[in-house]
Structure 1
């Protein structure tokens, strides 16, 4: 079931984000992710519309939208590769006629995932915090 997140769930969502980020981005120092955790909990998630995926009374993933921009899409690493990310994105896409997102260019798995969903790369930049190249991807109906 996909439903709106509650603020009480933010610590759990940050835990999912942190574990999934470390797994998906081995090219970024783990300390960088830990340093961003408070920002995620206190600034980024509260500024977004956050939806969670619940399975068996357990939150296993979430996405965060700020207007038509996907700020975050993360699934608990323990249950990845079962279509949960696709389900979350399908939910997000039904409520929007267009979506943009930034993804680390070296995260080939994520870039491929978004391409399969119809996103294309429209711009590139260097992430000011990490120095890593990022791709701006866009989708529209």
Structure 2
């Protein structure tokens, strides 16, 4: 069941983010990983956060959305490939009316995931939103 995230759960979101990024963003320099880990909590209050929990009530995946954009989707490393990301993405599309997402160009698995659900490349940026040299694919849902 997908539910809203409570502010008291923000530290748990960081753990999910860290697990997910370590498993999927092997192109990140270690110093950039630390940079983003410190930065990500600043975004939580600016997005609508929803999550999926396991039987022990631990968050195993979450999304952050804002204005029709999927700003973040992260799943713990041990849950990648088990349908959690799919559930979160479909919820974002169907219930939260998401039509756009940005993804690291070097994260081939993520870009293939979004393309599988009907997202197409609309543009590409040479650097990410922080000006770091990680190209970003700007994807839009084509219906």
Q: So what's the TM-score if we normalise by structure 1?
A: 0.92
**Residue pairs, 1:41-120, within 5 angstroms:** 41=41, 43-56=42-55, 57-120=57-120
Q: What is the CA RMSD across the aligned residues, in angstroms?
A: 1.4
Taking structure 1 as reference, are residues 17 and 116 closer, same or farther at Cα in structure 2, changes over 3 Å only?
same
Higher strand share: 1
The runs of 5 or more residues in structure 1 that have no matched partner are none
How far did 1:65 drift?
A: 0.2
> Is contact 1:63-1:73 (8 Å) kept?
yes
How far did 1:60 drift?
A: 0.4
Rounded to whole Å, the distance in 2 between the matches of 1:18 and 1:59 is 13
Q: Across the two proteins, how many residue pairs are aligned to each other?
A: 140
- 1:5 equivalent in alignment to 2:5: yes
Residue 133 of structure 1 corresponds to which residue in structure 2? 135
Superposed structure 1 runs of 4+ greater than 4 Å apart: none
Q: So what's the TM-score if we normalise by structure 2?
A: 0.91
The runs of 5 or more residues in structure 2 that have no matched partner are none
> Is contact 2:74-2:85 (8 Å) kept?
yes
